[in-house]
Amino acid sequence: MTEVAFHFNAPDKLAYACRLLRKASASGAKLVVTGEPGLLRQLDVALWTFSPLEFLPHCLGTSDAAVLAASPIVLAEQVQGTPHQQVLVNLSHAVPDGFERFERLIEVVEEGDEAGRLSARSRWKHYADRGYAITRHDLAAKGQN
């Protein structure tokens, strides 16, 4: 069963996602990131520029199958058709279709985003009602933001 974790109070969703992806890919994880198209375009740019000394190999979900398979990080509006099944990072306000095929799901909720917080509660309830164990990480309390 998919492990679900909510990371609350990220002060900057994109910067936090970059750090999260760097850490996870360094451990050898294969990741899919889902979200709205505009946010994914911003993340694509951020992954090229967030650290001048490192590059996180990634591609868009619309890339050729060979590129998708070779890329440790795939940015996709929909998770259907993506090659990886280890970690799904959800940056959207909706429950991602097909999340249950992943070993882990990480939900990132931005600090001060009331609409995001409300939709996160709805997603939490969705997962809990289906029997998924949920881990909560308050980034503000841990000073990890």
Q: What is the pLDDT of residue 141?
A: 79
Token reading at 132 = 């998924």
Provide the whole-model pTM: 0.94
The C-alpha angle with vertex 2 and arms to 108 and 5, in degrees rounded to 5, equals: 25
Q: Tens digits of per-residue pLDDT, 97-140?
A: 999 999 999 999 999 999 999 999 999 999 999 999 999 999 98
Q: Which residue has the higher pLDDT, 120 or 142?
A: 120
Asked if pLDDT for residue 142 goes beyond 80, the answer is: no
* Lateral strand order in the sheet of 104-110: 58-60, 73-76, 31-34, 87-90, 104-110, 3-10, 134-138
Count of beta carbons in the 10 Å neighbourhood of residue 70: 12
CA distance 80 to 72: 16
Q: CA–CA separation, 67 vs 79, rounded Å?
A: 16
Confidence of residue 144 (pLDDT cuts 50, 70, 90): low
Range 60-79 average pLDDT: 95
CATH code of 3-142, in short, is: 3.40.50.10110
Q: What is the mean pLDDT of the chain?
A: 94
